[in-house]
Amino acid sequence: MTSTPQSLIQLTDLHLFANPEQDFKGQNPWQNLLDLLAQIEQQGLPDLFLLTGDLSQDESYDSYLMLYQLMERIGVSWYWIPGNHDQVDLMSKLKPVIPSVTLGAWQWLLLDSNSGEPYGKLSSSQRMQLQAALEQPEAEHIGVAIHHQPLLVGPARQGKFLVELDTLDDIAGIDSIPLQDEGWLWKTLVDCSAVKAVICGHVHQSHEIKRDGLTLYTTPATSIQFTADINAFELDMLAPGYRRFGLYNDGRVESRVERLASIV
């Protein structure tokens, strides 16, 4: 008999303002989020929400407070990590940015790639903390959540590291500000057989990118979408969305992207 999986929903790139009526590039981020959460409640709440960065666009305490209050009212376990638009100190005043959470047979390692710049970096302390967690896991299977993409997502370079490209002259769009680590994170995770999935935000696009036996799942934003398969920042007319995961006790991962008023 197949066991019932643990369920996880990733929300990312919310880009909220303290003013819930504030426009963001033609979208109302707060209304998008509220509509998506209403859809999620209709379809079935998960066991866990992970919010993977760029939570606030104006980086205000009030925007984090309103998000915190909203998620607490839902009544489901939830955790957040910062993106390049976030202020970790303000987030931590409301809810600690923790490095790990366990969900059944799964441990999720939550990484902070906020470098103070648009691109991502992992500090030496983050690297040491990750290595220690991989050496002494708290569950049989491991998932990793980070804001910045550890693999490139653009055309003709998808699945590569920046360091593998012959030139950076033509890099534009979201791949100009990825996780900058020369592939260290991905190589470290591939070396640990317990790691079964990596999820990220930042790209405002949906991808499932496989490399060295491991899959990177990128997820639509709850705010605006970026057009995929072009070498530029360009807004897409796709609806806001999120990603739903089914996590099995044997390490299998099922995943689908859901968009507002539709499933794709």
What are the residues whose beta carbons fall under 8 Å from the beta carbon of 102, sequence distance 6 or more? 108, 138, 139
How large is the average pLDDT for residues 146-158?
95
Instruction: Please state the rounded mean pLDDT for residues 97-109.
Output: 97
Q: Does 142 fall in a domain?
A: yes
Strands 106-110 and 100-103, bridge-based pairing: antiparallel
Residue 2 lies in a domain: no
Q: Are strands 77-81 and 48-52 parallel, antiparallel or unpaired?
A: parallel
Mean pLDDT of 74-100: 97
Domain that holds residue 204: 9-263
Evaluate the CA torsion angle 77, 46, 106, 223 in order and state its sign.
negative
Looking at residue 69, its pLDDT comes to 98
Q: Is residue 135 domain-resident?
A: yes
Contact by Cβ (8 Å): 151, 226: no
Tally of domains within the chain: 1
Q: Does residue 148 sit within a domain?
A: yes
Q: Over the chain, what is the mean pLDDT?
A: 95
Confidence at residue 115, expressed as pLDDT on a 0 to 100 scale: 95
**Residue 111 · residue 145 · CB < 8 Å:** yes
| 131, part of any domain | yes
Q: Mean pLDDT throughout 155-163?
A: 92
Give me the mean pLDDT over the 37-55 stretch. 97
Q: What's the average model confidence in pLDDT over 14-25?
A: 97
Residue 158 pLDDT > 70: yes
What is the DSSP-derived secondary structure letter of residue 5? P
Mean pLDDT of 146-169: 92
Q: Does residue 105 register a pLDDT over 70? A: yes
53 domain residue, yes or no: yes
Kind of pairing, strands 195-200 and 253-259? unpaired
Q: In this structure, is residue 1 part of a structural domain?
A: no
CATH number of the domain that 31 lies in?
A: 3.60.21.10
Whether pLDDT at 1 is above 50: no
* pLDDT value at 264 more than 60: no
- Domain presence at residue 87: yes
CA nearest neighbour of 40 among 32, 237, 217: 32
